[in-house]
Amino acid sequence: MDPILAAAALSVVLGAVIAFVFFKSYLLKERSNVQAISEPELHSDPKKTSKPQHVPKKYHSKPHSHASDKEQSKRHHPLDLNTLKGHADSVTGMCFSSDGRNLATACADGVVRVFKLDDASSKSFKFLRINVPLGGHAVAVAFADDSSSVVVASQTVTGCSLYMYGEENPKKGSTDSNQQSKLPLPQVKWEHHKIHDKQAILTLTRATASYGTGDGSTIIASCSEGTDILLWHGRTGKVLGHVDTNQLKNTMATISPNGRFLAAAAFTADIWEIVYAKDGSVKEVLNVMQLKGHKSAVTWLCFSPNSEQIITTSKDGSIRVWNINVRYHLSEDPKTLKVFPIPFHDSSGSALHYDRLSLSPDGKILAATRGPTLQWLCLETGKVLDAAEKAHDGDITWITWCPKTMPLGNEQVVILATASVDKKVKLWAAPSVTS
């Protein structure tokens, strides 16, 4: 063999041996490192091993059964407590029961869901499913008698219908504390069709007739997209009254908490008094006041808890607080107590208007929305207490406060619920009000 070729062959062999030894040593070292990483640190600092025990439980447990891991990661706002999912379409309306233990939702998928809310931090919530008749989709819902029955507005191509679903055999005089939280059974007790001709229902609100000689029954107001508003007896379905706003079209209507006044927002805001007879029945509904002062259309309004004040918001970029505890029978007009500029502006700095308002049960915090944005305002000063610029992944369709505090673990908190076209309902804690 040529000496040169022999030397080259020897060099190749030696190089292969050296490379083999090197890579073998490298692979053994890496294997040792991998084993060291995969094995628990049995001799690490005790404080480090116990650290996971102090991480809040919600980060260890499975997410809310109605929320995915993605939803948990997106929940960044400190006041965002929980999300109710499971709706297959836009959530169009909501209502808490008077005891605050149930939340009814109306959804465009044709289903009304009544959630039982034992704790705002629950991983899952039991709910009753009520399917509206075929061809309709639920647009609004209101409890008729506490949590034992619900009134549902269903929209079809031929018009809007009202259905009252209640218990099959309500137990009267029961002293069982669990009776108050019992969910309604889906039995139709009464129904009315084409109640506003072919016009849609914009809002469905309720109140207890506790003023004057009112008999304590539930009164429900259905507001159409036209100019008419109807009052209904929650338990019997009897029509109690009818009013016409005589304006271009309605925006919304609501009843004062004590059942004394009916207020509607159109271009202006009008107020009617619900007059009760001595036997507690509704005698008549009289137009008694008009809120004059806004320079443009009123987009929403709500009553104070004591039914003596009204808060309005307008396209003129302002919020007004009115005193309606006046002698209107002597032609005394409602008085403007406060005027606040809406703290909401577009990119050019122009003031925007709110879509919806809702006042907290203590009358201190005004929740307001525009599109997907949620703000909490101090009613005393008009200043923003907190805000969620993207509270939902779509426009907010309804907001309502729970009338009672709700358990949140070992605490009792004030809760606001919001619904949206994003098929979700969210529960929010109320921000603190600093003096």
Report pLDDT digits (tens) over 50-59.
333 333 333 2
d(CA 150, CA 138): 12
pTM beyond cutoff 0.85:
no
Q: Report percent pLDDT > 90 for the chain.
A: 69
- Domains of the chain by start residue, with CATH: 201-305+318-351 (2.130.10.10)
Letter for the amino acid at 138?
A
Average pLDDT in the 265-290 region? 94
Instruction: Decide if pLDDT at 115 tops 80.
Output: yes
DSSP secondary structure of 55-112: S-GGGTSPP-TTS-HHHHHH---TTEEEEE---SS-EEEEEE-TTSSEEEEEETTSEE
Collect all residues with Cβ–Cβ distance below 8 Å to 59 and sequence separation of at least 6. Answer: none
Nearest-angstrom CA–CA distance, 25 and 37: 19
Number of C-beta neighbours around residue 4 at 10 A = 8
Amino acid (one-letter) located at 276: Y
What's the rounded Cα separation, in Å, for the pair 189 and 367?
Answer: 34
Span 392-407, pLDDT tens digits: 999 999 999 999 999 9
Residue 351 gets which letter from DSSP? B
DSSP element (H, E) containing 8: helix 3-38
From the list 169, 132, 148, 138, the residue with the least C-alpha distance to 97 is 148
Query: In this predicted structure, what is the pLDDT of residue 55?
Result: 33
Q: What is the per-residue pLDDT across 233-276, written as a single tens digit (0 to 9) for each?
A: 999 999 999 999 999 899 999 999 999 999 999 889 999 999 99
**CA–CA gap between residue 50 and residue 344 (Å, rounded):** 47
SS3 37: helix
406 CB neighbour count, 10 Å cutoff: 22
Name the least confident of 8-22, 43-57, 178-192, 411-425. 43-57
Q: Which two tokens stand for residue 413?
A: 């908190």
Question: Which band of pLDDT confidence, cut at 50, 70 and 90, is reported for residue 278?
Answer: very high
Q: To 5 degrees, how large is the angle CA 372–CA 375–CA 381?
A: 155
Give pLDDT tens digits for 309-321: 999 999 999 999 9
d(CA 266, CA 245): 8
